[in-house]
Chains A and B, each alone.
Chain A
């Protein structure tokens, strides 16, 4: 592995200030992402991606080695000026400046809260979201960034990420004819060597496009297939979205939150922590600061207090985590809706009603 690293100029970026977001395009929600690229900006491959299962579901040394070797091969045969134009992600700033770098520190939605410190990757999607909303160009399907392989009904081998290990019955992949053991080569014009490449390829499919061509290897024979995509193919679930920091920027927000109760705390209030789906959290904060304070104020108006234990929201109590609750609220609650919140306070259950604000 180390000799491979020495064939690259390695650079580590921990601050997105000054980084051209139109050139270095990746899933900004990740805590670790790598691009293998030509210095002219052409990206050969991507590495580092995840889904709701874990942060390192697709991180392994064998898979990284494959991607590095593929990138070296691509670099050796690269002809400057002949590269196809990089496919852009579907999630872009409205009215992008032509031929100018897109810098996070120049995006108005971020400028307002820029304190001059490091800019984190995960601040980017919420800023894009806010700008798109302001420009009235936001479409709900745009939030489903970087669809994971499960969205088309497949899973990939962790060490050889071109290889399909599972095809779900009656999924998009199944209907297209994909089979277990097939090796993905190219999708929608994007060369695939990793799960990150596949997720970029899926993300690059415009939301209006209803099919995507795929090259693959089956029993060492080149094969072409076409994925047929319905209108909602990108749409995941609150649980699949819960890991994304992007959720914190979406509205409407609940305006309150806090830590999940431990097994002992659940038992203390008479809930069985061993029963699947048992969940409760303690209200530790009501948002009374920043642009989301209206949500916190609405929660206070509804009667919610710090220290309340939230048992269920609109009848739902089987959250996997506090992150799941926040994702669920933002993706499923609608402006104007009256949300029923059951809480435990001083040993007594109470029902509160909170109106969801714009």
Chain B
């Protein structure tokens, strides 16, 4: 369950004791698929798309 909460924190912005607020803030989550696609294309990076 602790692991699940940590995962949820990373993917869902749910606060949890396993991951500090500062660590969570270090992950930039975009809210726009077209914007993310453009950035990934320009940067040559893969995308991590979370649906919830």
12 example contacts (A-B, Cβ-Cβ < 8 A) are as follows A9-B43, A9-B48, A11-B30, A11-B31, A14-B52, A24-B33, A32-B11, A33-B52, A37-B46, A40-B41, A44-B46, A68-B48
Interface string of A156-167 (1 = CB under 8 A from B): 000000000000
CA gap between A10 and B33 in the complex, in Å: 9
Which residues of B approach A to under 8 Å, CB–CB? 3-4, 6-8, 10-13, 23, 26-33, 35-41, 43, 45-52
Q: Is the CB of A36 within 8 A of B3?
A: no
Inside 8 A of A38's CB, which chain B residues have their CB? 40, 46-47
How many residues on A have C-beta within 8 angstroms of the other chain's C-beta atoms? 40
CA gap between A265 and B30 in the complex, in Å: 48
Q: Is the CB of B51 within 8 A of A39?
A: no
Q: Is the CB of B46 within 8 A of A12?
A: no
Q: Say yes or no: A13-B47 contact (C-beta < 8 A), given A56-B4, A64-B7.
A: no
Which residues of A approach B to under 8 Å, CB–CB? 1-2, 5-14, 16, 18-19, 24, 26, 30-40, 44, 56, 59-62, 64, 68, 71-72, 75, 121
Inside 8 A of B7's CB, which chain A residues have their CB? 59-61, 64
Partner of B51 from A33, A44, A64 at Cβ < 8 Å: A33
Chain A nearest CB: distance from B39 CB in Å? Answer: 5
Q: Is the CB of A1 within 8 A of B49?
A: no
Chain B nearest CB: distance from A141 CB in Å? Answer: 26
Chain B nearest CB: distance from A286 CB in Å? Answer: 33
CA gap between A72 and B26 in the complex, in Å: 20
Q: Is the CB of B52 within 8 A of A12?
A: yes
